[in-house]
């Protein structure tokens, strides 16, 4: 290509900001649609007469579906482009959320949350790949981390809708109004370019006379590359994501319920306190990129994982010791959210590890297979709660956070690496 790539720009342009903002917005509503269900567990269970284990199974099914969505949409994105597939994923999770409001049984609720999970799994990797391919290497860490701030914003929106609005309009209407993010697709289609790194790769294949492959052949080729040339990196990435995802979902899948049932908070107060963790999360995600671009990917992960683990231990194991000081508890709630800022490192890290031909496939597969494993997490907490309370199950998140901070040192340092075409 004669025109310089976007990633070769000295300074960000309006195009960079549009790609970043729309990918970020897609991730905000992606995560909002996934997490909203956790704030509606109690009213859904009451109306449909579902037990905690059944409600946890529904959440687990949607998390498992993110693994399938991540793989499928990752392959489609490497084949058809980042822009097109980003639109498809947003439409998929929006439709799934809309249909969730129509569910009249456990079986239908599971099906509709699986549809939501498919779109959720595809959007993260596609958006992060899009951003990672567009931004200059020296700023990739902060761009990827800024996009990840969409997660706490999404949880905050879910807190407001699920904790403050749902009691007034009902859980079904809460799902219905959550369809509106699908309108993002109109803006993306009209105002965003396709990834020029992806287009350069397609042009290179054409110049080399490489014939377009069938969908199955393309899939087999990507799987072969992941399991041969990039096997070690892929396995390392998958394990890292599993540890971190376990830390996150052991924390958040039952956190509103924990505050409501074991700490006797009202649903409104539970939502407000969760907002404190998300304020910490926003700052954690936002700052992680600067720390990672300055100190490196590995030290940043370790630092944030320890902060999360300390916060989790204090709001579960040591709650009774600090219960007399609500401000102290809120500080540790804030630190739990701040520590989750390490999720801001996945987009840049994975983009720097894998070449363009399989970047979205590798990123989507590693991140979302790890999220799919979390099928067992909400159910495990519900079972553990019978003997140790919800606090006992949530405390396990601290151990997974520490494992994340240790495992990152099995990776090479990739700070500032130029992306492979």
Give Cα 259 distance to the centre of its chain: 23
pLDDT tens sequence across 305-349: 999 999 999 988 898 888 888 899 999 999 999 999 998 888 888
Q: How confident is the model at residue 382 (pLDDT cuts 50, 70, 90)?
A: confident
Residues 6+ apart with CB under 8 A from 341: 145, 148, 281, 283, 284, 285, 286, 287, 288, 304
Query: Would you state the pLDDT for residue 217?
Result: 60
Q: Which CATH class, in words, describes the domain spanning 6-187+215-410?
A: mainly alpha
Query: Would you state the pLDDT for residue 215?
Result: 56
Average pLDDT, the chain: 85
With vertex at residue 248, the alpha carbon angle to CA 159 and CA 304, rounded to the nearest 5 degrees, is 110
pLDDT tens sequence across 129-173: 888 888 888 788 888 888 888 888 888 888 889 888 998 999 999
Each domain of the chain, given as residue ranges in start order, spans 6-187+215-410
SS3 261: helix
Residue 250 has pLDDT above 70, yes or no: yes
Residues 6+ apart with CB under 8 A from 127: 23, 24, 26, 27, 86, 147
pLDDT tens sequence across 40-96: 988 999 999 998 889 888 988 888 888 888 888 888 888 888 898 999 999 999 999
Query: Would you state the pLDDT for residue 210?
Result: 60
- Number of Cβ within 10 Å of residue 123's Cβ equals 32
Residues 6+ apart with CB under 8 A from 214: none
Smallest CA-to-CA distance from 30 within 160, 117, 132, 135 is with 117
Q: How far apart are CA 372 and CA 352, in angstroms?
A: 23
Instruction: Report residue 86 as tokens.
Output: 């980003």
Instruction: Report residue 149 as tokens.
Output: 């701030």
Residue 128 has pLDDT above 90, yes or no: no
């Amino acid at each position: 290509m004669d025109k310089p790539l976007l990633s070769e720009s000295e300074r960000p342009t309006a195009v960079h900001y549009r790609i970043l903002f729309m990918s970020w917005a897609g991730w905000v509503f992606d995560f909002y649609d996934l997490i909203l269900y956790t704030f509606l567990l109690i009213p859904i269970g009451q109306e449909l007469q579902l037990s905690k284990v059944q409600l946890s199974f529904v959440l687990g099914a949607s998390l498992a579906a993110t693994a399938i969505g991540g793989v499928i949409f990752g392959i489609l994105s490497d084949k058809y482009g980042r822009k097109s597939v980003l639109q498809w994923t947003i439409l998929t999770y929006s439709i799934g959320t809309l249909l969730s409001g129509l569910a009249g049984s456990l079986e239908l609720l599971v099906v509709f949350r699986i549809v939501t999970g498919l779109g959720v799994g595809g959007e993260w990797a596609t958006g992060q790949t899009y951003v990672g391919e567009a931004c200059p290497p020296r700023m990739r860490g902060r761009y990827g981390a800024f996009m990840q701030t969409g997660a706490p914003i999404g949880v905050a929106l879910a807190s407001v809708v699920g904790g403050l609005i749902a009691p007034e309009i009902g859980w079904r209407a809460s799902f219905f109004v959550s369809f509106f993010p699908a309108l993002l697709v109109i803006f993306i289609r009209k105002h965003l370019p396709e990834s020029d790194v992806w287009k350069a790769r397609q042009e290179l294949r054409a110049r080399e006379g490489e014939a377009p492959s069938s969908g199955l052949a393309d899939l087999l080729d990507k799987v072969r590359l992941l399991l041969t040339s990039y096997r070690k990196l892929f396995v390392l990435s998958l394990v890292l994501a599993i540890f971190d995802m376990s830390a996150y979902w052991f924390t958040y899948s039952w956190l509103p319920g924990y505050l409501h049932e074991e700490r006797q908070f009202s649903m409104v107060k539970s939502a407000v306190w969760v907002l404190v963790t998300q304020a910490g999360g926003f700052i954690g995600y936002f700052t992680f990129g600067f720390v990672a671009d300055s100190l490196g990917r590995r030290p940043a992960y370790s630092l944030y994982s320890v902060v999360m683990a300390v916060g989790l231990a204090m709001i579960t194991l040591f709650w009774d010791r600090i219960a007399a000081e609500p401000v102290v508890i809120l500080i540790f709630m804030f630190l739990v959210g701040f520590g989750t800022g390490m999720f801001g490192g996945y987009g840049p890290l994975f983009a720097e590890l894998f070449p363009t031909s399989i970047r979205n496939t590798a990123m989507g597969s590693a991140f979302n297979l790890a999220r799919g494993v979390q099928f067992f997490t909400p159910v495990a907490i519900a079972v553990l709660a019978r003997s140790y309370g919800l606090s006992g199950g949530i405390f396990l998140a601290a151990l997974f956070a520490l494992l994340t901070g240790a495992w990152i040192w099995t990776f090479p340092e990739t700070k500032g690496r130029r992306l492979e075409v």
